[in-house]
Structure 1
Amino acid sequence: MEDRWLSVDEIGDYLGIKRDTVYKWISEKGMPAHKVGRLWKFKKDEVDQWVRTGGAAQQIDKSTEDK
């Protein structure tokens, strides 16, 4: 079984999201990522678990919910 580190572009392709969204999820939603020098790297199994537990779920903005 292959267990290599994935790049920002590779994890974005895997999840079907843009690279800007990957960076946003790292900073705002706690997406599991590891900084190696200047690069972010990802373990697919960590990201899969994070998604399964709702880490990537949309959050409702309570200030605009009733509008």
Structure 2
Amino acid sequence: MNEMEDRWLSITEICKYLGVSNDTVYKWIDKHGMPAHRMGRLWKFKKDEVDEWVKAGGAAESSDAGKSRNL
């Protein structure tokens, strides 16, 4: 299990872990500073970095942002 904690996760794996779509993760990277690392054409994630970002409220910002812009 420790190997899972230390390895880089793919977009598919981080989406499954967080229970969100690819589009949501790409939006979080672009607009909300989700910790992600570009390796060539691929995005990779460290689970502990993403966990800290979520705990700090990074993911929560996205739910209100889109609503206020649509006025």
1:18 to 17, 21, 28: 21
Matched residue, 2:36 = 33
Pair 1:56-2:31 in alignment:
no
**Over aligned residue pairs, what C-alpha RMSD do you find?**
1.6
Structure 1 counterpart of 2:15, one-letter code: G
Identical amino acids, percent of aligned pairs: 64
- For residues 16 and 54 of structure 2, the distance between their equivalents in structure 1, rounded to whole angstroms, comes to 15
Moved over 6 A (4+): none
What are the ranges of 5 or more consecutive residues in structure 1 without an aligned counterpart? none
State the Cα distance separating 1:59 from its structure 2 match: 3.0
More helix by share: 2
TM (norm. structure 1) is 0.86
SS in structure 2 of the partner of residue 26 of structure 1: helix
- For residues 29 and 55 of structure 1, the distance between their equivalents in structure 2, rounded to whole angstroms, comes to 6
More strand by share: 2
